[in-house]
Amino acid sequence: MACSGEIVARAAALGVAVPAFNVPYLPMVEPVVRAVRDMDAFAFVATARLEWIKFESQGPAAVMREFTRWRDPEHVCIHLDHIPVVDEDSQEVNYLPIVEEAIRLGYCSVMVDGSRLSLEGNIEATRQVVELAHRAGIPCEAELGAVLGHEVGPLPPYEELFRSGLGFTDPGEAARFVRETECDWLSVAVGNIHGAVSGVLKDRRKVEARLDLDHLDRLRRATGIPLVLHGGSGVKQEDMRAAMKRGIAKVNVGTEIRQPYEIALRESGSVTEARHACYERTCWVIHDYLGLAGSRALLVG
């Protein structure tokens, strides 16, 4: 079977995307894998540091153990998402040992997020992780620009953010960043936002985001590598579908499946019911929202 790097490269060439489903609770792994298989798609099961700090996924080893129970190499692989150099609470993170652990555990790809650093600092941190990943024969994702939403407290009004282009990835900086780091995939900011993860905000429906597709075109031309959209939940469907044709080859989805799981668990007290809610919503994301049902054969070969 093709490796994750080849699969994402194929997605970029074909104008489709590989969804990456974040699992802040370990019981979500099984329904996500089942949904991807039943939709005959290909996807990543993803875990980010904030999901074991602010939720209950426990860490890379625990997620890998659960993933191994349900793994289906024809349909899913496992991705280490968002390992920040400076986190959403402005705390420095000892990020290299986390990446090294994930590589030892057998993760198929890794992500370092140095987006809260200066451009030079982000390049240096990313280059270190790229070297580790490439030595292990796996791809490395990085982030440039500010995909807001994980920080504590409310965001400014969305329309204000979009009109101002606050945090949007700069094409000139992106070209330099990719050239100097040799990262494989680049997470970009073009109007997308993360779902809130703290306090009462984490239970609220995300604002419907839209994407600056012309800006995305500029980034694709500047970088020449597969681009990644974080904060995929809640983006206008027509913008999401258009973004896949303009270089977005991986789409991260978290809030869209986390909230149904949490609501079902809170209302029923049953993990079985919560898993069912997660399964149903994952199927909806793949089939109805992204239109990727049946895409596995295109990507895996």
Give the residue numbers marked as catalytic.
81
- In the numeric block, the tokens 């997308």 are attached to 192
Backbone angles phi, psi at 145, to 5 degrees: 100, 180
Task: Give how far Cα 86 sits from Cα of 49, 114, 151, 180, Å.
Answer: 11, 7, 11, 21
Both structure tokens of 66: 């659960």
Q: Are 13 and 255 in contact (CB under 8 A)?
A: no
Both structure tokens of 4: 């994750």
Nearest-10 Cα torsion for 23, 299, 178, 240: -60
Where does residue 198 rank: exposed (0-12), middle (13-18), buried (19+ CB within 10 A)?
middle
Both structure tokens of 279: 């399964």
User: What does DSSP say about strands 76-84 and 227-229: parallel, antiparallel, or unpaired?
Assistant: unpaired
